[in-house]
Amino acid sequence: MTDNSIRPLTILFMPESAYGPTNQCIGIGKVLLDRGHRVVFAAEASWAGKLTALGFEEDLVDLAPPADSTDDTEADPGAFWKEFIKETAPEFRKPTIEQLETFIKPTWQALIDGAVYCEPQLKQIIERVKPDVVVEDNVLCFPALMTAGAPFVRIVSCNPLEMRGPRIAPTFSGYPQADNSQWQTFLDAYERSHREMWTAFNEFVVASGAPALDDLEFIHTSTAANLYVYPQEADYTDQRELDSTWHRMDSSVRSTDAEYTIPAEVAERPADSALIYLSLGSLGSADVDLMKRLVDVLGRTRHRFIVSKGPQHDEYELADNMVGAEFVPQTTIIPKVDLVITHGGNNTTTESLHFGKPMILLPLFWDQYDNAQRMDELGFGRRLSTYTFTEEEMNSALEALLGDSELAQRMAVMATGIQSREGPTKGADVIESVARAHATS
């Protein structure tokens, strides 16, 4: 008879089809894989081959019908991003309260459509895989995960404001903690724009056999265990209490990125020149006009830059003080730089804190405003207006952050503490514990 307390477990991850959640699941999954467990990813089909290359199993899902083979965007992936940004970038210029109706709501609807479409596929995957535990890092419920006959673990790696509370700013608002005067106005606007859509989705969830969702929430809180990714030093602990099912992972830095050698063009630089990493994520970097402006402004500074150029990498040239590529190994670059310029996605934000690097934040949408505001109000970075910052504002932020030796020391101490708490190991421990409890029950 197999001893369930020591046998290898089968762990099914379903991350959101985005680099941030998938990469952080890779970080935890690698720990579990190294412990001898079977780790399967029910990721979106575009990840085919990328996860098996890291040692994981893939049992992938389509979130939409296959594209028409005559569709030109299928032949040229760059064309998709070009068209998407052309249509969407104007939304990123709006105040967050205006984005609720015109960007946040349509984004939720697209996610809902994907969940509805893939529900039969996901049930089949669960039947094939027979997991001991299912782990979801997403913002949306997939009912099949709730009816899998295995415990469900939720991961929040997108935004710590997803765990709402009356004393923290509304999710997606980017509003300051110190001024709650506009919080209720934003919440009322969210209610008006999202109520009908949420009601329809909740009916689908219940009809699929899963429990009803909490009011205006799009995903369940697990009764077994919930993980979230945000460092203790930046968390909202004093403003928002969480019950014992919640476990904080201070960071979740994957160990699968290739080592990065700094090219001589930027490694050799004047003594008063800093080395800076620039990444606006796949969507931000696909806005060629925005990237060209950043290259223009930053190209006139004395500093040196490593640039994650993104899907439109061949549409613009870097300045002489820059090197970059479409994709670069972020987690092995950040430790080598002095500062990070970022869109404020949760992965890049927490990875920058993990390595003790100050940030300039240029948010575009979703969690990015919340992270940008939080880093600014805690003094770990400067939030600038993404499309209307002046050259003087950018230069002032650079010099203030790079010249602050006290901040550098504070962030170095913080980084030591974050790294010592070993986020991926803690996450793996929680998932393993939940699976073992189920396997031996």
Tokens encoding 425: 């190991």
Helices 391-402, 288-298: axis angle to 10 degrees equals: 60
Tokens encoding 174: 């980017």
Distance CA 413, CA 35 (A): 30
Distance CA 307, CA 423 (A): 27
> What DSSP string runs through 96-107?
HHHHIIIIIHHH
The torsion of the CA quartet 31, 37, 38, 42, rounded to 10 degrees, works out to -40
Contact yes or no for 222/153 (Cβ under 8 A): yes
Cite the DSSP H helix spans in 130-182: 143-146
Enumerate residues 6+ apart whose C-beta is below 8 A from 383: 344, 361, 363, 372, 373, 375, 376
3-state secondary structure of 358: coil
Cite the DSSP H helix spans in 269-390: 281-284, 288-298, 330-333, 346-354, 367-378
Neighbouring-strand partners of residue 57: 40
Tokens encoding 247: 């476990």
Burial (0-12, 13-18, 19+ Cβ within 10 Å), 97: buried
* pLDDT at site 260: 87
Q: What is the CA radius of gyration of the chain?
A: 22
Domains of the chain, earliest start first: 10-250+421-439 (3.40.50.2000), 264-420 (3.40.50.2000)
What is the residue type of 271? Answer: A
What predicted TM-score, i.e. pTM, was given to this entire model?
0.89
Among 176, 143, 138, CA closest to 157: 138
What are the backbone angles phi and psi of residue 172, rounded to the nearest 5°? 80, -5
Tens digit of pLDDT at every position of the chain (441 positions) = 345 567 899 999 999 887 778 888 998 999 999 999 999 999 888 888 999 999 999 998 888 887 654 554 444 444 555 666 667 778 889 999 999 999 999 989 989 999 999 999 999 999 999 999 999 999 999 999 999 999 999 999 888 888 888 999 999 999 999 999 999 999 999 999 999 999 999 999 999 999 999 999 999 999 999 999 999 999 998 888 899 999 999 887 776 778 888 888 888 888 889 999 999 987 888 888 999 999 999 999 999 999 999 888 888 999 999 999 888 888 899 999 999 999 999 889 999 999 999 999 999 988 899 999 999 999 999 999 999 999 999 999 999 999 999 999 999 999 999 999 998 999 999 999 999 988 776
What is the residue type of 170? Answer: P
